[in-house]
């Protein structure tokens, strides 16, 4: 119990996730992926944060059938074929207990903020609110289609054996060639975190 509590504290500091704000999305680098890995006993947690362009080749909402199919394919590969991308030592006999992948758009955060602001000022300036809402819907939404977006994914593994003196093979670059560099932060069972930059098709992390 004490170890799990310590792991959570370290994970919060070491693996602090990005805030989905205009400033954070605007600063991201295409081809650059952040990979967080944490092992605790027989459990392994893997998390990915990346510009959508690194996985899809675009950052706007999927519009054409080809783009929509590509997004579905990438999402399904992560969620249903996880072992192709993140390969755990077979001797540990691990299984995926949870896997998900989502896209976060800069425009969603902006619209939410604007709508909240209009709600607060609407009672005092009813006519102005109506005018501004019209201007917002007709003049501002359309240009936001091309703004930044990020892909965020995670997967949890539960193994039959303790994850110790083992290795994790990362194959993201094999399936997503637009990825140039993976910045990995690892918290192994030893409790001593380390960082490693991955540039190979078949990158290895010690657990």
In tens, the pLDDT along 52-110 reads 999 999 888 889 999 999 999 999 999 999 999 999 999 999 999 999 999 988 754 44
The reported pLDDT for the residue numbered 77 is 95
Write out the E strands in 17-125: 32-40, 43-51, 86-88, 94-105
Over residues 156-197, the pLDDT tens digits come to: 999 999 998 899 999 999 999 999 999 999 999 888 999 999
Over residues 20-30, the pLDDT tens digits come to: 444 444 446 67
C-alpha 167 chain-centroid distance: 22
The reported pLDDT for the residue numbered 191 is 86
Beta strand 43-51 with 149-159 is: antiparallel
Contact indicator for 149, 106 with CB cutoff of 8 Å: yes
Helix or strand (DSSP H, E) at 138:
helix 126-139
Q: Pick the range with the lowest mean pLDDT from 2-16, 47-61, 146-160.
A: 2-16
Helix or strand (DSSP H, E) at 121:
helix 106-122
The reported pLDDT for the residue numbered 59 is 85
Longest distance between any two alpha carbons in the chain, whole Å? 68
The reported pLDDT for the residue numbered 143 is 35
Distances (CA, A) of 93 to 51, 58, 90, 119, 206: 32, 36, 5, 53, 17
3-state secondary structure of 139: helix
pTM over 0.75: no
C-alpha 130 chain-centroid distance: 37
């Amino acid at each position: 119990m004490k170890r799990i509590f310590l792991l959570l504290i370290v994970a919060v500091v070491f693996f602090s996730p990005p805030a989905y704000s205009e400033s954070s999305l605007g600063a991201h680098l295409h081809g650059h992926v952040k990979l967080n890995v944490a092992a605790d006993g027989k459990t392994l947690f893997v998390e990915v944060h990346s510009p959508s362009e690194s996985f899809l080749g675009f950052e706007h909402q999927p519009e054409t059938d080809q783009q929509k199919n590509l997004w579905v394919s990438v999402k399904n590969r992560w969620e249903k074929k996880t072992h192709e991308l993140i390969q755990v030592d077979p001797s540990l006999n691990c299984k995926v207990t949870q896997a998900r992948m989502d896209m976060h758009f800069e425009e969603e955060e902006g619209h939410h903020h604007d709508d909240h602001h209009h709600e607060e000022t609407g009672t005092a300036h009813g006519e102005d609110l109506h005018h501004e809402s019209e201007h917002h819907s007709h003049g501002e939404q359309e240009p936001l289609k091309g703004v930044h977006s990020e892909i965020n994914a995670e997967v949890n593994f539960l193994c039959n054996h303790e994850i110790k003196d083992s290795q994790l093979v990362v194959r993201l670059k094999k399936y997503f060639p637009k990825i140039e560099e993976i910045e990995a932060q690892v918290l192994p069972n030893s409790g001593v975190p380390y960082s490693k930059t991955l540039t190979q098709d078949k990158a290895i992390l010690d657990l």
